[in-house]
Amino acid sequence: MIKTPAIPLHSSGIPTRRDFLGKALAVGGSGFLLASMKAWGMDIASTRDAPPMLSGSGKGKTVVILGAGLAGMTAAYELSKLGYTCKVLEARDFAGGRCQTARSGTVLEELGGAKQVCNFDRGQYINFGPWRIPFNHRSTLHYTSAFGVPLELFNNDNDAAYIYNDNAAGPLKGKRLRQFEVKADMRGYVDELLAKSLKSGVMDQQVNATDKDLLIDYLVGEGYLSKKDLTYRGTEGRGFKVNPGAGMQPGPGVPSDPLAFSGLLESKLGHFYHSVHEFTQQSTMLQPVGGMDAIAKAFEKRVGKMIKYHSEVQKLRNLPNGVEVTVKDTHTGAMSVVKGDFCLCAMPLSVLRMVDADFSPKFKTALAAAAYAPVCKIGLQMGRRFWEEDDQIYGGHVYTDTKGINLISLPSGNWQGKKGTLLGYYSFGADAAELSALSPAERAEYAVAAGEKIFPGAYRKNYESSFSVAWHLVKYNMGGWAEWSEEARAQAYPVLVEGEQRTLLAGEHMSYLGGWQAGAIESAWQQMERIHQRLSTQGAAA
């Protein structure tokens, strides 16, 4: 039973916006909440920036939570605050799920693969699971704030980084460019073309005289066109041949020449950017200082006592008044049964569908509907931060079309440090499947060879050590994230969100923030609210 919370009054006697919204949600549900948000001018805020405000108590009731990833730990943390007994069953010896960071000593054994032990230097690490927190993922940021996890900026957008396409058509094939060269020139030429067309009068049918002048004015500024003849001849933002400096030499420097428009078009290099980033890729992005697993550790510190580690779920049974989960101790092989009033299953669907569970055929069919993404990453420790020292690239992504590489991402921290660990590839789909067939040493060699083409003379020379993952080969994950076809989203997803009997599902797969920590957290918030509702109602029948 949810009681309407009183609006806490601050010294001013005026409820804060958050108080008000909390009340709006409690009183009127999400429809009323959205209306309230609009009234308060919060159109762009996410619907959930804090856990649901629940009243009542869970005392004497037990929730069995399957999986100590972010979804499972979020639920355990919040439900236990309400008085529930939470029993979290985790197959691994550690919590965090996909939220892992590899550093010296980290062990990873892929299915049918070699065992890797990370031997990076002290202080070096790679976030081989989630690695970025967009500014609009308020739920994730709620916990970094609540738990005091120190953050730093993650550079997700660095125009000074290179773009290098091996398979580009035309003269720019295999040519290393700065991203700002491509952006400045493409936009400059496009703006020139449109400005001149407007000026010539051929578009007078579509654009009236006032808008025409305003638009030409905009295009001149946006594209750095000459005001006189509306021509693009390059701009300092695309870099100099010789940088400006002191005195007479270099003095003002020597401007650079733009690339030819036709060659740019032919290369399709302009396709790497858009007018603005997509929602989840926008600046600003943040990361925990020292590794993403700081978030997992912060949760684990608070709910660790509720977690039963090395407990692999074998069987799940919904009973008339509760649930019964059979687990195997992966150390001893001993089997045991864990009972509770309700079950929150926060393991990936890829794993859950291998568990012996008493779901209906409809539910089981739905469980099979999501594909799990093959995803590969590799961290490469470099003895020298040559990308900063030689190339002045401070974080961000080098883009390339080399098969399976996609991007080389440079670390956003420890600036000007002695060594650095970069992300050597971020690979999906068929490419990832191919890459994962290689041994760790072969993957490293592949990544180093690709990087060497972009940073000749430096990449291979400075390479020291690697740590790679193929998420689809990691036991208890079996993929990077759930991928929903349009049909599966329409048919299977609602069935799974609804849950069955005394079991609800949570995780990034139960959200539209797939693959993001925010999806796991917000899904947990949503489902724990429903569990609380169910267990607060007599009988708790579905």
Residues of this chain, 402-431, that bind its own copies according to CB under 8 A: 412, 415-416
- The answer to whether the peptide bond before residue 326 is cis (omega within 30 degrees of 0) is no
Instruction: For its own copies, give the closer residue by CB, 446 or 493.
Output: 493
Token pair for 340: 């509770």
Amino acid of residue 378: I
Tell me which of 22, 223, 420, 515 binds its own copies, using CB under 8 A: 223
Give yes or no for residue 52 binding its own copies (CB under 8 A).
no
Alpha carbon separation from 175 to 264, 392, 401, 436, 453 (Å, rounded): 11, 18, 12, 28, 10
Alpha carbon separation from 98 to 186, 234, 300, 466 (Å, rounded): 39, 45, 14, 19
Whether residue 77 contacts residue 22, with contact meaning beta carbons closer than 8 Å, is answered with: no
Distance in Å, CB of 320 to its own copies, minimum: 26
Alpha carbon separation from 370 to 280, 366, 475 (Å, rounded): 21, 8, 18
Question: Binders of its own copies: how many residues, by CB under 8 A?
Answer: 113
Tell me which of 183, 317, 377, 397 binds its own copies, using CB under 8 A: 183
Instruction: Select the span of 122-130, 214-222, 326-334, 361-369 touching its own copies (CB under 8 A).
Output: 214-222
Tell me which of 15, 52, 113, 270 binds its own copies, using CB under 8 A: 270
Give yes or no for residue 7 binding its own copies (CB under 8 A).
no
Distance in Å, CB of 403 to its own copies, minimum: 21
Distance CA(208)–CA(206), nearest Å, equals 7
Distance in Å, CB of 437 to its own copies, minimum: 32
Amino acid of residue 361: P
Alpha carbon separation from 458 to 121, 123, 360, 387, 494 (Å, rounded): 19, 22, 58, 9, 51
Give yes or no for residue 258 binding its own copies (CB under 8 A).
no
Give yes or no for residue 319 binding its own copies (CB under 8 A).
no
How many Cβ atoms from other residues are within 10 Å of residue 305's Cβ? 11
Give yes or no for residue 484 binding its own copies (CB under 8 A).
no
Instruction: Select the span of 114-122, 233-241, 345-353, 432-440 touching its own copies (CB under 8 A).
Output: 233-241
End-to-end CA distance of the chain: 15
Give yes or no for residue 214 binding its own copies (CB under 8 A).
yes
Apex 122 CA angle, 92 and 435, nearest 5: 60
Interface positions, 495-514, toward its own copies (CB under 8 A): 497, 510-513
Alpha carbon separation from 121 to 2, 26, 118, 125, 485 (Å, rounded): 51, 50, 9, 8, 42
Distance in Å, CB of 534 to its own copies, minimum: 15
Tell me which of 240, 309, 428, 476 binds its own copies, using CB under 8 A: 240
Instruction: Select the span of 95-103, 185-193, 344-352, 531-539 touching its own copies (CB under 8 A).
Output: 185-193
Give yes or no for residue 324 binding its own copies (CB under 8 A).
no
Give yes or no for residue 341 binding its own copies (CB under 8 A).
no
Instruction: For its own copies, give the closer residue by CB, 52 or 113.
Output: 52
Whether residue 497 contacts residue 504, with contact meaning beta carbons closer than 8 Å, is answered with: no
Give yes or no for residue 127 binding its own copies (CB under 8 A).
no
Interface positions, 27-46, toward its own copies (CB under 8 A): 30, 34, 41, 43-46
Of 507, 499, 509, the C-alpha closest to 533 is 499
Token pair for 101: 């960071």
Give yes or no for residue 533 binding its own copies (CB under 8 A).
no
Distance in Å, CB of 468 to its own copies, minimum: 27
Give yes or no for residue 246 binding its own copies (CB under 8 A).
yes
Tell me which of 107, 114, 117, 203 binds its own copies, using CB under 8 A: 203
Token pair for 466: 């690697």
Amino acid of residue 133: I
Distance CA(479)–CA(499), nearest Å, equals 22
Give yes or no for residue 250 binding its own copies (CB under 8 A).
yes
364-403 footprint of its own copies as x/- string (CB under 8 A): --------------------------x-xxxxx-------
Distance CA(421)–CA(106), nearest Å, equals 15
Tell me which of 127, 409, 527, 536 binds its own copies, using CB under 8 A: 527
Token pair for 123: 């202080």
Tell me which of 8, 28, 60, 245 binds its own copies, using CB under 8 A: 245
